[in-house]
Amino acid sequence: MTENEVQQIALSVLASIAPEVDGEQLQADQPLRKQVDLDSMDWLNFLLGLNEKLRVEIPEADYVRLVTLNDVVKYLVAKLP
User: Interface residues with other proteins (CB under 8 A)?
Assistant: 18-20, 37-41, 44-45, 47-48, 51, 57-61
Shortest Å, Cβ 70 to other proteins: 22
Shorter beta-carbon distance to other proteins: residue 54 or 69: 54
Shorter beta-carbon distance to other proteins: residue 2 or 20: 20
Contact yes or no for 56/28 (Cβ under 8 A): no
Shortest Å, Cβ 4 to other proteins: 24
Q: Which residues of 21-57 are buried (b: 16+ CB within 10 A; e: fewer)?
A: beeeeeebeeebeebbebeeeebebbbebbeeebebe
